[in-house]
Amino acid sequence: MDAIKHAGSVQTSSHMGIPLELFLLKKLMKQLNHFHQLKLWKKRKFSLIFEDDNLLLDTEYFLKVLKSFKKVNPEISFLAENGLDYSLLTPEVVNELIDSGLVKFNLSLASIDPAILELEKRPLFLEHYKEIVATIATRNIPCITYFICGFKNDTKISIARTLAFLANQPVIIGISLFYPVPGIHGFENLKIFNELLPFCCNSTSAYPWNGSLSTSTLITAFRLSRFVNLQKQKIKSEIEIKIMKMIQENRKLYTFVKVNQSIEIVPVKNNDQELVEEFFRSAL
């Protein structure tokens, strides 16, 4: 229970004397019954995607919403693409979410370094996290865990250790290269953004916003996460098995290039070899 105390309490309200939760559920069912009349709804399977990272602040209500959809269309499935807070999950809630139609879990761990997360005002409950992903794995449901690469106090060692930790969990690694939203802590001075090209605010630019890690290191971390995911991949092609073995044996990163009509394996240029070696040391 310690893992969920930081969330605080959820305030409730009412609409015209009716509890807000009940009012909203009634409105939802009215709309769902309308959709139920459509032939398209009856003949096709639907997947509903939630884009809200606060879904578990009122878990009971969220489950009622899922079950309301299921009543109208038993074939519907659900995704929470913006992530779920693992600290608000329990094994019981995980199983209930799966039984209610959730077909994939997206979790955010940010980092496994307590000092970094304390500075970022983010909680860390590693044992609880491991219990949750183990529960998900028993149900054969895919789980992606995202971490952030490029915090102000990140180092090659902290990134290598986070990657190595996730490599040993039953999850797919999702890596988010740090980029700031104007106005957040450390980036209140908006003039900073006027001096840079807009694409620097994309995660894919791998711009070293905090100066803690270089662009080369950020991209190398991204490549390492993809290498780990390849290892976890159940079905691999012959050439994927070959490149995976080369990376493992040589502790160097390789990639595919197309030469004429064939695919060749070549070493990655300009990667951060120090990070690669640190990752393999941490993974032992």
Averaged pLDDT, 118-145: 96
Please check the confidence at residue 20 and state whether its pLDDT lies above 90: no
pLDDT digits 0-9 by tens, 56-67: 988 998 898 898
Q: Does the residue 277 lie in any domain?
A: no
Please check the confidence at residue 12 and state whether its pLDDT lies above 50: no
pLDDT for 35: 62
Q: Does the residue 213 lie in any domain?
A: yes
What is the residue-wise DSSP string for the chain? -GGGGGG-PPP--EETTEEHHHHHHHHHHHHHHHHHTSHHHHHS--EEEE--TTGGGGHHHHHHHHHHHHHH-TT-EEEETT-B-GGG--HHHHHHHHHTTB--EEEEEE-S-HHHHHHTT----HHHHHHHHHHHHHTT--EEEEEEE--TT--HHHHHHHHHHHHTSSSEEEEEE--PPTTSTT---THHHHTS-GGGGSGGG---TTSSS-HHHHHHHHHHHHHHHHHH-SS--HHHHHHHHHHHHHT--EEEEEETTEEEEEEPTT--HHHHHHHHHHH-
Q: Does the residue 169 lie in any domain?
A: yes
Q: Does the residue 35 lie in any domain?
A: yes
Please check the confidence at residue 3 and state whether its pLDDT lies above 80: no
pLDDT for 13: 38
Range of the domain at 229: 2-237
Q: Does the residue 202 lie in any domain?
A: yes
pLDDT for 37: 61
pLDDT for 127: 97
Q: Does the residue 114 lie in any domain?
A: yes
pLDDT digits 0-9 by tens, 244-272: 999 999 999 999 999 998 999 999 999 99
pLDDT for 4: 39
Higher-confidence position of 75 and 8: 75
pLDDT digits 0-9 by tens, 170-188: 999 999 999 998 898 889 9
Query: CATH code at 226?
Result: 3.80.30.20
Q: Does the residue 253 lie in any domain?
A: no
